[in-house]
Amino acid sequence: MGEIILGTGIDLVACNRIQDSMERFGSRFLNRIFIQTELDYCLKQKYPECHLAARFAAKEAVSKAFGTGIGGHLGWKDMEVHRLKSGEPQLRLHNKGVTLLENKNGIRVLISLTHTKEYGAATAILIGNEDC
């Protein structure tokens, strides 16, 4: 039983867009998009807007890999970017995310993040079983 790629996604977010939303909407914006563990990590960084932009991009990329976009089938908080001790980002799915993964016959979603002072970017790969 092998694994196959069921979907891919990519996204790019300007860090100043995140900074502007933080300044304009504050915690209302942050709490709508991010889970507390994501905020705890990002807000401790020298340029939190860039770390948040990469995670925002990851959530968009994951929604593209699923082929749903953000909305009724998959919400912002149904996805969490977790950082392993090695520094590797790992996607955790919650609620609708878990259901969607099962419905797509997926087994996991791989993500990769990057950022500069100007942009945050991410890719996502939805992995499934060959037998599905």
pLDDT band, very low/low/confident/very high, at 1 (cuts 50, 70, 90): low
Residue 64 known to be catalytic: yes
Q: Tokens in use for 79?
A: 């996805």
Catalytic residue among 59, 64, 94, 96: 64
DSSP 95: T
In angstroms, how far is CA 54 from the centroid of its own chain? Answer: 8
Residue 13 · residue 118 · CB < 8 Å:
no
For tokens 């968009």, what's the residue? Answer: 60
Average pLDDT on 98-108 reads 96
pLDDT band, very low/low/confident/very high, at 130 (cuts 50, 70, 90): confident
Residue 115 known to be catalytic: yes
Could you read off the pLDDT of 39-74 as tens digits, one per residue?
999 999 999 999 999 999 999 999 999 999 999 999
Distances (CA, A) of 42 to 56, 74, 83: 12, 22, 11
Please give the biggest Cα pair distance in the chain: 50
Question: Taking 90 as the threshold, does the pLDDT of residue 98 lie above it?
Answer: yes
This prediction's pTM: 0.95
pLDDT of residue 119: 98
3-state secondary structure of 57: helix
